[in-house]
Structure 1
Amino acid sequence: MFKKLKASLGIGAAKVDTILENPELFQGDKLIGAVHIQGGDIEQKIDAIHIKLNTEIKIENDNGVSYQTFTLFHTQAVNPFVIQAGEQKKLPFTIKLPDETPITALNVRNNHCDVWVETVLDIDFALDPTDRDLLIVKPLPVAGAIIQQVEQAGFNMVKADVEKGFLNGGHFKSHSGCYQEIEFRSSGFINKKEIELSFILDGSVLHCLAEVDRSLGFNRGDQYISFSLGLNASSAEINNAVQRILRV
């Protein structure tokens, strides 16, 4: 009984540790890992193991700005089982990253884009049997080339975050319930502009919606440019798409 009481307080209870083989990957890649469970001081029943892929989304309302956890993907890894005291179990898994997983590997100080794996044991006795592992989600080469060309045109990346809601690019839409915005600002004194890029991966196609804010210059007003490129788009195709944004 005393050991059960200790376990309910998180002392001597089963512990979970998720080991990822490839924590640095691209949108749409397969994440490979294993859940390691170390039995505690007593036999315990584990009803399920939940693996979640989470991000943090920005919410704006009349009370200001707040951030909350948003689950992009959730799976139950196993059926109920019993782990004996001191027993070790290893449960491998493979998860395909959702197409709309935000990019986190961005060279910007004001980066509010995080993606992590959260592993939770559904267990009778344990205070917080949870493990969290951060992922590094890199931009696909075509997205990286778009970002690079915008920066080479004199725009500095100033902020990145994940917004709550759905993106509508005219001929494409987002579906996850959140979307990423990567903000750039021109460094000139005259006719300053801001550009916000949102990428939506759709299988072998990358959609992009660009919002161009000209309120800082003489030509005021916002304009939206949307386009789609194959993941193997040529340099000329990428350049033509970026030039559409820059001409606004």
Structure 2
Amino acid sequence: MSDRARRKELRKAGVAAARDARAVLAEAIALLDAEVASTELGRAIAQRVTVAVAALYRAEIGEPEAVRDRLVDAATVLGDALGALHAPGATTLLDRAGPLVARSLATIHPARAELERALREVPPSQTPPSAAPSSRAGSSDAKERRTAPRVRIEGAIGAQSGATFVAGEASDLSTGGLFVATGDPLPIGTELTLGLLLPDGHRVVVDAVVSWVRGPHDGRAEGMGVRFLRVSREDAAAISRHAE
């Protein structure tokens, strides 16, 4: 795929991610307005979310650079909002609105990061460092690695579990799961929703569970191996095309 064609596909993915994130944030705004925006913190959070929604609307107009800029704007504001929700004394707000804000961040992060990468004209590496599990991985992981074809990719991952948002880099993708390189791995057994963009611009959103974790002292990239729980037929077919 040419650079121009890739940018076009990434723009489409960015616009689609912006629309999906807006739908999630609409729930957050309704919740904040109806139940918890009577507090000063609640009003401040609602204002940030509204600003993010406005940026996501504007992401539908313009060239890839404009889409990237609006996604960056929205991600910055939403990151501030999520940080405020995790502040002491915001438990009710965090429980109610936190998962929605985290989900919206996970939705837009892969498209934003890949647009930034493409517009810097630095092609993704085709041979990222090995991310195979250490020998301590469970037998189910070893079996999955033997039976599922894998492809080495490099791409941004956005993951959400409850009110937690995790950004990382994907590698070793298969139809059964992938490795997420991140300095903030989630505990084994954590269920999460994650999104990524395949090299052709196809957006994948799957429910998954953390199967194993690699710490910072294992001599390789820190992160977590995740196993897919629910994958749409369309996403499974797209992953299979790249894993052959």
Which category of TM-score, normalised to the shorter sequence, fits these structures? under 0.3
Q: Which has the higher helix share?
A: 2
Query: Between Structure 1 and Structure 2, whose CA radius of gyration is higher?
Result: 1
Q: Which has the higher strand share?
A: 1
